[in-house]
Structure formats: C-alpha cells, structure tokens
C-alpha cells in the first residue's frame, strides 16, 4: 500500500507497509524506537503509494501529519490493505467532510464509514 524509504546515517532501508516486521526493519538500520514520519537531522524518511493508481493510498499519504508515528501508519495500512469495500470517492468524502488528518484519525474515520455502510446494508436486506 505505502512504501517507506528510511536513511539513518549510511544505512538505508526500503519496505512496504503494512508489515509485521516493522521494528525488525527499523532495527536493521539502527533505529530502536517508534519514530515520527517527519525527517530529522539524523533520520531521513520518505513515503509514497506503492502503486500510482492506488487512490486510497494517495489519500492517506496526503493526509498524514508530521507527528504521526510510523507504527500508527503501519497499523492504518494494515487496516486498509485489501479492505476496499468502499470506493476511493466515499473514503475521500468521509475524510474531507471533517478535514480528517493523521493516521489515528484516518483509521477512526474509516472504521466509522465501514460501520455506517454495514448498517445501511443490514437495513436494506
């Protein structure tokens, strides 16, 4: 869903989220803590959708906040990955309605949208 590139000193790493090995990946380049997705003096981090046509991944990338922790983004990707029972338009509208930003807020908005759609489908049966 989202590809991360991280450089810590001379060591660099590229991996795709979601991953079950997040902290193993980070540890392999000397990072032993949960880091924010912003660049720092010591650590360079970049992220982007794996597939240019993945509109939901692009929406997520555009709405992440600098203080979002990489583990929160990874959990968000795990929640969203392969769960496309909503359209990218529905997803974008749900986030735009309240200008939702940040990994934890995006996950909560997605869960709320899924519940609304489930209830709507239950009522129509």
User: How many structural domains are present in the chain?
Assistant: 1
pLDDT of residue 13: 96
pTM, two decimals, is: 0.88
Residue pair 43/7 in contact (Cβ under 8 Å)? The answer is: yes
Q: What residue numbers bound the domain in which 113 lies?
A: 2-124
DSSP string, 74-115: HHHHHHHTT---S-HHHHHHHHHHTT--SHHHHHHHHHHHHH
Sign of the torsion angle spanned by Cα atoms 54, 67, 116, 81: positive
d(Cα 86, Cα 121) in Å, to the nearest integer? Answer: 12
Among residues 112, 108, 50, the alpha carbon closest in space to that of 81 is found at 50
The pLDDT tens digits along the chain (125 residues) read 999 999 999 999 999 999 999 999 999 999 999 999 997 888 999 999 999 999 999 999 999 999 999 999 999 999 998 666 788 898 999 899 999 999 999 999 999 988 888 887 666 55
């Amino acid at each position: 869903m989202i590809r991360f590139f991280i450089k810590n000193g001379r060591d660099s790493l590229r991996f795709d989220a979601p991953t079950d090995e997040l902290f193993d990946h980070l540890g392999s380049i000397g990072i032993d803590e949960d880091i924010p997705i912003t660049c720092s003096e010591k650590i360079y981090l970049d992220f982007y959708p794996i597939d240019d046509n993945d509109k939901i991944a692009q929406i997520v990338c555009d709405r992440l906040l600098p203080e979002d922790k990489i583990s929160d983004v990874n959990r968000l990707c795990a929640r969203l990955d392969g769960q496309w029972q909503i359209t990218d338009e529905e997803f974008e509208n749900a986030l735009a309605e309240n200008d939702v930003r940040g990994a934890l807020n995006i996950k909560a908005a997605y869960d709320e949208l899924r519940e609304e759609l489930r209830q709507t489908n239950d009522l129509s049966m």
